[in-house]
Amino acid sequence: MENKFMLGKFNIAIIGYGYWGPNLVRNFSGLDNCQVAYVCDQRVEQLALVAKHHPSIATTSDYQHVLADTSVNAVAIATPVSTHFTLAMQALAAGKHVWIEKPLTTTSQQASLLIEEAKRRKLILFVDHTFVYTPAVRRIKQLIDLNELGDIYYYDSTRVNLGLFQSDVSVLWDLAVHDLAIMDYLLGLQPSAVSATGIAHVPRAPENMAYLTLFFDRKSPPLIAHVHVNWLSPIKIRRTLIGGSQKMIVYDDLDATEKIKLYDKGIMVANDTESQYQRRVGYRTGDMIAPQLLMTEALHVAAAHFVGCCQTGETPITDGNAGLRVICILEAASESLSRNGYPINL
Amino acid sequence: MENKFMLGKFNIAIIGYGYWGPNLVRNFSGLDNCQVAYVCDQRVEQLALVAKHHPSIATTSDYQHVLADTSVNAVAIATPVSTHFTLAMQALAAGKHVWIEKPLTTTSQQASLLIEEAKRRKLILFVDHTFVYTPAVRRIKQLIDLNELGDIYYYDSTRVNLGLFQSDVSVLWDLAVHDLAIMDYLLGLQPSAVSATGIAHVPRAPENMAYLTLFFDRKSPPLIAHVHVNWLSPIKIRRTLIGGSQKMIVYDDLDATEKIKLYDKGIMVANDTESQYQRRVGYRTGDMIAPQLLMTEALHVAAAHFVGCCQTGETPITDGNAGLRVICILEAASESLSRNGYPINL
Amino acid sequence: MENKFMLGKFNIAIIGYGYWGPNLVRNFSGLDNCQVAYVCDQRVEQLALVAKHHPSIATTSDYQHVLADTSVNAVAIATPVSTHFTLAMQALAAGKHVWIEKPLTTTSQQASLLIEEAKRRKLILFVDHTFVYTPAVRRIKQLIDLNELGDIYYYDSTRVNLGLFQSDVSVLWDLAVHDLAIMDYLLGLQPSAVSATGIAHVPRAPENMAYLTLFFDRKSPPLIAHVHVNWLSPIKIRRTLIGGSQKMIVYDDLDATEKIKLYDKGIMVANDTESQYQRRVGYRTGDMIAPQLLMTEALHVAAAHFVGCCQTGETPITDGNAGLRVICILEAASESLSRNGYPINL
Amino acid sequence: MENKFMLGKFNIAIIGYGYWGPNLVRNFSGLDNCQVAYVCDQRVEQLALVAKHHPSIATTSDYQHVLADTSVNAVAIATPVSTHFTLAMQALAAGKHVWIEKPLTTTSQQASLLIEEAKRRKLILFVDHTFVYTPAVRRIKQLIDLNELGDIYYYDSTRVNLGLFQSDVSVLWDLAVHDLAIMDYLLGLQPSAVSATGIAHVPRAPENMAYLTLFFDRKSPPLIAHVHVNWLSPIKIRRTLIGGSQKMIVYDDLDATEKIKLYDKGIMVANDTESQYQRRVGYRTGDMIAPQLLMTEALHVAAAHFVGCCQTGETPITDGNAGLRVICILEAASESLSRNGYPINL
């Protein structure tokens, strides 16, 4: 069987060919040194689609068959989240590198076990926090690292639209996971506690609206983060405000040409304790700059990064630990949400 | 002294001529049956401004002088909030109707005492929840009353901009008070608990960012409200989403011509408990309508309503009880905020 | 050779596989009763792309081979405009129905010859004025036909962006053709004269900016149309204003969710000749409605319409005559442009 | 009579107290070294308004009385345009400096006579091209003078809204005058010819829509300008695109916070005549910058500039000659419009 795959190419199998699978096939196929060896799905009609559009890719409904093929270097798991752990653990046991769609697993315990197993076997465990690989988020990271913003004061994200109501996970696990992954990458700081609130409008269904506040131990200056997610909004909003002591950013992912706006605005606080409070705070406003961004597709960058890490042993930016950190926050947030905002320490 | 006031006119004295005072003078002067008899302020330079622009209005720095003038029917108090209670109580004791800028008082106890005193003396106690009198909010109220939205699912407001940092009150008491007042008017429901989080970026200063979730006892369908206020945002946002079972509203107060957009969008939930969850939720989208709004100035409407109530004894829409309800929420929110979101029952 | 094509299917050959060719392949392939039999292109690297992505489609660089295949019912010509006439005439001579990308030909004489030839042979000649088949334009047509706008007062379009500078045609023939095609469909009126101005910023190159006014003989009420096209704009604008005696439309093709906004606005003109002019004109403003639009792809609708017309003999909406009418305006506009706006009668 | 005016102050009389008069009173009153001595209007109800809001300003319906008062240094004429010439000529004859609202006069001949008279008497003749004094336009001028844009390629303005239909002048003379004044200031170049088109939708009324192209003799690189004005638009647009060889500007006067956006975008033209045309044009895109603008009121700046010029003899930026240049274009445009775009040399 292996013979049909080109020599020297990195072979990956895509597990699950639903909404996201075609994007994985397209992007991994688009890499020079990589080919998609298999698409595996239990639904024959989905495999028929693969056969039609990608006749050179082998299809199978038998996951064990994929794992038994020694020419397969890695699997990319794009199945319902409840199956992530079992599928990934089997793949690691079979010596495959693993790419998993977000969220990594359904519990932090599962995530820890995967991390441990990957470490022991010296395999790459990668979680697809796609937004981390967008030109916009990478540019914001650059601006933060260059200290353009000064100290970060807050991170505030709104991610709302109409649908798609999920049956197995709440809006926190479906949408807020994006913001937590971006924050994990940009801030490089672990929150110390979380308070979350939310509501389910559909009986016997997970929450479709949620609000999440993250607290951090850093005191000088203090930092706060907030995420607002909603599946039941009449309009689509994808907007993040990042406040800093020097400058502030508005990141609007729906703006076709000016996703990032860097505002030279802020407050100036006089240290003079004698003066009136009102006179202690001054406002500063300057130019706004919308930096030119590359047009690279995030998933292409992520796929190339993953393959590179598999080949060199380098740790990916979004490794299992990044996935775990996000899961821990989601677990705490879910508990807080069920207790109407009661703060949960992390 | 009284003789100089026109017979039959309703005489009002404006107490405090700072940022808002000139608007009060202009609007009360603009009413047919009303005249501004006095402006009272302790700062002589402010009184000089009155004398220059409104030579026909008497000025004084002596509040007792105003209260002693029996031709004065009412006072409008636009002074720092910490002085509201004392000034209002004295005015009621002197038999004057009272208009107070928001927030009504600094504590719910003070608010209750004012309400009681006004009731006992059969005087009008009015809190200037100005937004309640805007054409936009009144139109939303109309749409809700006509059941255009169906059951209300959520109320979600964002009110952020750069400045003005207040020294004596937090952003909750300065900005969130607007949203709580609007909600009090639109929903006509009391929240049962509140969870709030926030942060102060200026040392020894009140919080300049806050997030507030309101819980309601109503279960079928459940209702939630959230308010996001921030004095440290690079951009100004004044946007409220109101979700209903039939339609949803986006109210953008910064949109010059289309402040309200009514979306014929929503979800349809099948009651069939047998069916798959995913199939239980359907999405519905239709036309969007931006209703034509009047251009009336809110403060003009409020002033006319106040004078009318004083003359007829009618209870104002934003009476002392409305002010008290808002204060109660702000007190609970402040406590919750100091405890990182710990839910406080109301 | 013919045997490999399914019996009963309508067979089309795509001529030219550059920017637009892949869209034609995808859309004609997506029709139930149609299949793409050939892609023909003189560039072997383009044919290689077809072989890779559509292995079931025959490729050839020999146009005569395509024409000689009697199983081919129609050709879709997506080559440079200078080749349209010759290729189309040969196809008609070979008994094929013809689909041609806009603009139909480089001269009105060529267009007339094609129309005549198609008529004589009872073949369909179709020009791909794609915008005519968009949900937005079709909805506007519906609103006009329902007399929602009243009498049309003006049509005013802006279509500007950065690039793509064409070498063989001016911005008039590249971009304004879209607006003229839409207008031809919506207004159903022939202009009587045209005045155009423009400029070429690149030496020895066609005009990259142009302004076009169309005059109409209709006097009561008078009608005017204007088109502004520009390849050298820092921002992309695709906005059309349509003024009517009852309502007015703003059609913004870049608005993802509200492409059409119908404004209940206008003027009221008193017929009283005695009254002052200023008092003769009143302004009326009412609600704005953004009607829900289908998400259908225009090219899919156009392809289905073309195939249907080929099979039934029905005249397409965008037949050769529609193409000719647009070409006539473009010819006159080009002449006017070269004479700095000198009006040219049609 | 003169005694009542403060010694040393520059005394100005406002002639005409309609829409714009109150703004003139407020701004001239707001200057340190200036006072409004008179407001003159033939309508007693307008004078009553002055008496109410500005009791210290003398009012009169007798223009000759104002001219006879030797303490009056200047008049500001804000009356219907048909009266400008006569009122201004009388004022100059009386030795007064003259400020006139735009457009300067109804004919270029009148404008020339005023210029000549002012020159002979060494008096200032100022036309209120207000936009020239806005922070936005002044900043654009600065950017052009610093050569940030490189060579100017085009100037393209859209100025449309619903109303106000004028009875005595067409939309060209009412709205396009603003753009011509801004262009006169920014470009510093005289157009060589003009082509204009337009239409009147109200019987026996001036044109309410017009399109205006200006041609310039400069050939390398060529320059073009276009103005689109409309009183019958469902939405308000105030947007100007300025294209340069290096950068391009979008000036949106309705954007509250980012009126000017400077785009680092353009084309690169290879001089290689051998290469294919398509390869000769490259596209360049970089950052966008929205420079911080002052919040100064334009009329305040203009008023201060006028008074300063009167006192020092300096020639104003918007002197009579600037007014004349604009009038000449409007005259030619009116003629071209009546001949459907026939180009008129200047």
Burial class (CB in 10 A: 0-12, 13-18, 19+), B9: middle
Q: Pick from D285, D286, D292: which is nearest to A287 by CB?
A: D292
Instruction: Provide the CB-side half-sphere exposure for B323 (13 A, CA).
Output: 32
Distance (Å, whole) CA A8 – CA D121 = 92
Q: B165 and A281: CB-CB below 8 Å? A: yes
Chain B residue numbers with beta carbons less than 8 Å from the beta carbon of A163 are 267, 281, 283
pLDDT at position B3 is 36
| pLDDT at A2 > cutoff 70 | no
Contacting residues for D323 by C-beta, under 8 A, at least 6 apart:
D100, D102, D103, D104, D105, D111, D125, D127, D129
DSSP string, A184-196: HHHH----SEEEE
Q: How confident is the model at residue B274, as a pLDDT?
A: 53
pLDDT at position A55 is: 85
State the best of D292, D293, D294, D295 to mutate against chain A, taking most chain A CBs within 10 Å: D292
Q: What pTM, to 2 d.p., does this model score?
A: 0.94
DSSP result, A282-321: EEEEEEEEE-------HHHHHHHHHHHHHHH-PPPTTBHH
The percent of residues above 70 in pLDDT, for chain A, comes to 95
φ, ψ for residue B30 (rounded to 5)? -80, -5
- The better pLDDT of the pair B53, C303 is held by C303
Q: What is the pLDDT of residue D6?
A: 44
Neighbour count for residue C321 (Cβ, 10 Å): 18
Q: What are the tens digits of pLDDT across the range B170-216?
A: 999 999 999 999 999 999 999 999 999 999 999 889 999 999 999 99
pLDDT of C4: 41
D neighbours by CB contacts (3+ pairs under 8 Å) = A, B, C
| pLDDT mean over D56-72 | 97
CB distance B82 to B88 below 8 Å: no
Distances C268 to B301, C284, D163 between C-alpha atoms, Å: 29, 7, 11
Pairwise CB contact (< 8 Å): B232 & A281: no
Residue written as tokens 């409104």? B54
Cβ contacts (< 8 Å) between B280 and chain A: which residues? Answer: 202, 205
For the segment B116-135, the average pLDDT, to the nearest whole number, is: 98
State the best of A292, A293, A294, A295 to mutate against chain D, taking most chain D CBs within 10 Å.
A292
The verdict on a CB contact (< 8 Å) between A285 and D291 is: no
DSSP D187-251: H----SEEEEEEE--STTS--SEEEEEEEEEEETTEEEEEEEEESEEEEEEEEEEEEESS-EEEE
Query: Would strands B97-101 and B74-77 be described as parallel, antiparallel, or unpaired?
Result: parallel
Between C53 and C112, residue with greater pLDDT: C112
Residue D225 distance to chain A (closest CA, Å): 26
pLDDT of residue D219: 87
> What is residue D329's predicted lDDT score, i.e. its pLDDT?
98
Q: Does the pLDDT value for residue C115 go beyond 90?
A: yes
Partners of D198 on chain C (C-beta within 8 Å) are: 224
Distance between CA atoms of residues A44 and C78, nearest Å: 37
Q: For helices A108-120 and A84-93, give the axis angle rounded to 10 degrees.
A: 10
Query: Is the pLDDT higher at D53 or at C327?
Result: C327
Between CA A56 and CA A63, with CA A62 as vertex, the angle to 5 degrees is 95
Q: Which helix (H) or strand (E) holds B180?
A: helix B177-187
Question: Where is pLDDT greater, at C164 or A161?
Answer: A161
| Amino acid in the structure at residue D296 | T
The strand pairing partners of C198, in sequence order, are: C210
d(Cα D88, Cα D111) in Å, to the nearest integer?
A: 10
pLDDT higher than threshold 60 for residue C3 = no
> So what's the pLDDT on residue B2?
36
Q: Look at residue B167 in the predicted model and tell me its pLDDT.
A: 84
Per residue in B310-336, pLDDT tens? 999 999 999 999 999 999 999 999 999
Sign of the Cα torsion D30, D32, D38, D40 reads: negative
What is the per-residue pLDDT for D2?
36
Confirm if B121 and B337 have CB atoms less than 8 A apart: no
- Residue C279 clears pLDDT 70, i.e. is over it: no
**Given a cut of 60, is residue D277 above it in pLDDT?**
no
Would the pLDDT of C67 be above 90? yes
Start-to-end Cα distance in chain A: 48
Q: Is B318 helix (H, G, I), strand (E, B) or coil?
A: coil
Burial class from Cβ neighbours inside 10 Å (0-12, 13-18, 19+) for residue D270 reads middle
State pLDDT tens for residues A94-104.
999 999 999 99
Query: Which residues of chain D are at the B interface, by a Cβ-Cβ cutoff of 8 Å?
Result: 55, 235-236, 257
The pLDDT score that the predictor gives to residue C280 is 74
> Cβ contact (<8 Å) for B292 and C264?
yes
Greatest alpha-carbon pair distance for chain A in Å reads 81
pLDDT exceeding 70 applies to what percent of chain B? 95
Residue D257: list chain B partners with CB under 8 A.
Answer: 235-236
pLDDT value at residue D189: 95
Taken in order A103, A105, A106, A110, the sign of the CA dihedral is negative
The label of the residue with tokens 């942060």 reads B199
- At residue C1, the 3 state secondary structure works out as coil
pLDDT score at A1: 33
CA dihedral A270, A271, A272, A273 (to 10 degrees): 120
3-state SS track over D110-140 = HHHHHHHHHHHCCCCEEEECHHHHCHHHHHH
Cβ-Cβ contacts under 8 Å, C235 against chain A: 257
Whether this model's ipTM surpasses 0.90 comes out as yes
Looking at the partner chain, which of A55, A236, A257 has a beta carbon nearest the beta carbon of C55? Answer: A55
Chains in contact with C, where contact means 3 or more Cβ–Cβ distances below 8 Å, are A, B, D
Which candidate, B223, B220, B342, B217, places its Cα nearest to that of A340?
B342
Quick check: D247 and D150 in contact, CB under 8 A? Answer: yes
d(CA C172, CA C338): 12
Strand, helix or coil for residue B325: helix
pLDDT tens digit string along D86-121? 999 999 999 999 999 999 999 999 999 999 999 999
CB contact under 8 A, A290 and D287: yes
Domains and CATH numbers, chain B: 10-130+299-319 (3.40.50.720), 132-296+329-345 (3.30.360.10)
D5 vs D43: which has the higher pLDDT: D43
In this predicted structure, what is the pLDDT of residue A273?
57
Q: Among B55-64, B267-276, D19-28, which stretch is predicted with the lowest mean pLDDT?
A: B267-276
Instruction: Check pLDDT > 60 for residue C276.
Output: no
User: What gap in Å lies between CA A96 and CA A118, rounded to an integer?
Assistant: 9
How far A292 CA lies from chain D's nearest CA (Å)? 5
Gap between the Cα atoms of C146 and C139, Å rounded:
10
Checking if the pLDDT of C268 tops 50, the result is yes
pLDDT of residue D5: 42
Average confidence (pLDDT) over A19-36: 95
Tell me how long chain B is. 346
What Rg, from alpha-carbon coordinates, does chain B have?
22
| Interchain proximity A341–B160, CB inside 8 Å | no
| A196-246 pLDDT tens trace | 999 999 988 999 999 999 999 998 899 999 999 999 999 999 999 999 999
Note whether D47 and D41 are within 8 A (CB): yes
| CA B17 centroid distance within chain | 20
When pLDDT is averaged across residues B269-281 and rounded to a whole number, the result is 63
B237 phi/psi in degrees, rounded to 5: -130, 135
Beta bridge partners of C241: C156, C250
The CA-to-CA distance between both ends of chain B, in Å, stands at 48
Residues B1-23: tens digit of each pLDDT? 333 444 578 999 999 999 999 99
- Would you state the pLDDT for residue A279? 58
Note whether C250 and D235 are within 8 A (CB).
yes
CA nearest neighbour of A126 among A275, A5, A305: A305
Q: Pick the residue with more confidence: D170 or B53?
A: D170
pLDDT in the model for residue B72: 98
CB neighbours of B283 closer than 8 A, spacing ≥ 6? A162, A163, B265, B266, B267, B268
Amino acid at C197: T
Of B76, B21, B79, give the one whose Cα is nearest residue B53: B21
For chains A and C, CB pairs below 8 A equal: 5
Helix (H, G, I), strand (E, B) or coil at A150: coil
Q: Which residue of D has its CA nearest to C345?
A: D340
Please state the rounded mean pLDDT for residues A258-265: 97
Structure-token pair, residue A334 = 């879910």
Give the residue, A7 or A82, on which the prediction is more confident.
A82
Higher pLDDT, B219 or D73: D73
